[in-house]
Structure 1
């Protein structure tokens, strides 16, 4: 996925909040700064340049909105790929990255531009003409996407085997924990348009944006979604609805695909809380998901339905990996761990303990369960590592490439 046609457009609100600058550069020397200003001055009215290298850029992007175009200096860096990997983890997925270095090496150029998804690389000493000819087209949006096989932001679907199995609690706390672990931008989407509780659990009042996005997808663009998304933590935004029970929202599989396509342009990870049993709209999300987390309780019906959902996901043509999450383990009167393992044919992928007082207290306070229960937080850690670790592995293969080109499957 690429930045919009011209980087010098007016700034827009970012998922992390605040306005996104059009072009931001980090350079280590004055000569390069002079050349950059001279070469890009006619294209960019608000060109921001700071003194520092890629390390400074990484630290800044942890705190600030990601610009549309980011220029970083890797001079003196022994392993630019490793440094760019760290940068990718803290930038919004649609950022366009240009690199300045001190090595005139064809293998390095090919690796940065063909394997890592960097739009352009130029080496010092910079000249105005050099900057204008090579960086100018990238900033103006004239760079043709190289490979349509890349990936966009990662979709994680959370689905309860039965009502009350803890899918919303899992989705909410997972989204917040993944954002903290990866420093990436995370969208938390509640597709329970009537009776959804993500808004309640985080103490926010959802608007009508999600329903509009699902009922009238032609009206929706990235800016609309950014305005409909509600910030709940650093780099985490919620997209939810609170429709009346007597309403009858009409959604389609195509509208869900359109929604995910737009979200993948802006967020590194999209966690979607799905109603169960899944209809056509929900199945479209399941097909697009890289991982599907199925929550179930320690009872016969929960185990049965969890296995049925796992089989359904395996047979619907999805490439996503289904993970079984046992919730409320240790519930009085519930099935023992041994019986559950026998029924599943193995251990659950994650086990969350029965913590009625803490979970209810967190809901009533409008806080995540991880904030009020260290026991719950520790139990969730393996799943957070699974989700965020897999995302990091994917970044290594194509860094900004998989982030910016979008997933064409949806």
Structure 2
């Protein structure tokens, strides 16, 4: 994900401007600028405040060096700078705060580099040379692929839908190198950012409270970057603060995702599925995550039927997660018979891998490399890509139910299995 000032063409712009706070940096920048063939008079005193004021009335340079030593709120000031910078500007910041989190936040906001003061001539030359290379690099985006939107829905709480959503987003971004957005719509209790050891930020709550602010620039600032190819939008809203929304903000976010990313993964709680039906309008693939239990079978039937009626364009993938190696509550055969379709992917239960993923702050798929769990996650990704890829050629595939099926009838048929199952269990206990 690139910041707004990292797009655009070279055009007729000054190659370099600098705004610094101290005499040492001022003299050093003038000397190095002269070495690189740039006008030394483009080095100015005044730091961030002067930079924002100056660039609000003049054209932005190709490369901008700005001193943040006198900035009380670096991230907010960088956002103010972005508002006055034209597309294409590569920004190098400098400051006296030696903090890894600040560095990551600044890079995530779109700056090219952050130099800790005092810096030397060699360090400055390297940073400016790298910035020049970034600005002049070819901007060939390569062959365009149609945007893919995937909704991940859990049939019940605790089946691991969020784990599957984060794993899918990670694999698409890391293994397939596709720019991917992950949207966690559990506003109060979402765990997508937590699973990757990230702070969720206020981006999602800000979007809900101020939908009119949502645009490409908002997306760049609000999303938290997990890697160069993966960005997350989530929240941890106070539980005494209900989020009142008609869902319009979510729809606008997804519209912006289509412009900025190749893939959008929505971690969609089932209550949101019912409350905001329009979120499924443009979904290509719906991943239904379930467990092999009686209650999950009932709810899988209901959700598959809902998807058939409300999102007929979506291709369906059923993933049974956390399947114990021993006998599950319901066998795979009986489960598939009850939902009248096959389970596409079985993800085995592995407590050690799950605990390790939580401990390391990594996705299940990343932690499970080389294991059966990892292979199942990869199979899920391949199935999703396959369904999205052949959607136009075979729109009738993966039907969620047979024609003429009655939802009430299907649930009733399955409930008829309950007495015999309980009787068998009681007989086993007596024995």
TM-score for the superposition, normalised by structure 1 = 0.60
In structure 1, what is the equivalent of residue 373 of structure 2? 376
Q: For 1:214 and 1:280, locate their aligned partners in 2 and report how far apart those are by CA, in whole Å.
A: 18
What is the CA distance between 1:262 and its match in structure 2?
A: 0.9
Unaligned runs of 5+ in 1: 1-14, 26-42, 49-63, 73-83, 90-150, 397-410
Report if the CA contact (8 A) 1:16-1:237 is conserved.
Answer: no
Report if the CA contact (8 A) 1:20-1:67 is conserved.
Answer: no
Q: Deviations over 1:261-307 (max 9, x none)?
A: 01111010000101123355542222221111111111010011011
SS of 2:6's partner is: coil
Q: For 1:313 and 1:220, locate their aligned partners in 2 and report how far apart those are by CA, in whole Å.
A: 28
In structure 1, what is the equivalent of residue 174 of structure 2? 180
Alignment of 1:121-270 (within 5 A): 153-270=147-264
What is the CA distance between 1:17 and its match in structure 2?
A: 6.7
| 1:20 maps onto 2:17 in alignment | no
Q: Deviations over 1:330-368 (max 9, x none)?
A: 265422222222222232011111112211321232111
Aligned match for 1:355, one of 342, 350, 373: 350
SS of 2:270's partner is: coil
Q: For 1:174 and 1:336, locate their aligned partners in 2 and report how far apart those are by CA, in whole Å.
A: 26
SS of 1:193's partner is: coil
Aligned match for 1:88, one of 127, 140, 144: 144
Q: For 1:181 and 1:394, locate their aligned partners in 2 and report how far apart those are by CA, in whole Å.
A: 22
Q: For 2:255 and 2:157, locate their aligned partners in 1 and report how far apart those are by CA, in whole Å.
A: 28
CA pair 273-311 structure 1, distance change in 2 beyond 3 A: same
SS of 2:217's partner is: helix
Report if the CA contact (8 A) 2:287-2:318 is conserved.
Answer: yes
Alignment RMSD (CA, Å)? 3.3
Q: For 2:177 and 2:284, locate their aligned partners in 1 and report how far apart those are by CA, in whole Å.
A: 19
SS of 2:267's partner is: strand
Q: For 1:248 and 1:283, locate their aligned partners in 2 and report how far apart those are by CA, in whole Å.
A: 20
In structure 2, what is the equivalent of residue 387 of structure 1? 384
| 1:367 maps onto 2:343 in alignment | no
SS of 1:207's partner is: coil
In structure 1, what is the equivalent of residue 286 of structure 2? 292
CA pair 206-395 structure 1, distance change in 2 beyond 3 A: farther
Report if the CA contact (8 A) 2:200-2:236 is conserved.
Answer: yes
Q: For 1:230 and 1:338, locate their aligned partners in 2 and report how far apart those are by CA, in whole Å.
A: 42
Alignment of 1:35-46 (within 5 A): 46=62
Farther-moved stretch of structure 1 (192-201 vs 340-349): 340-349
What is the CA distance between 1:218 and its match in structure 2?
A: 0.6
What is the CA distance between 1:316 and its match in structure 2?
A: 1.4
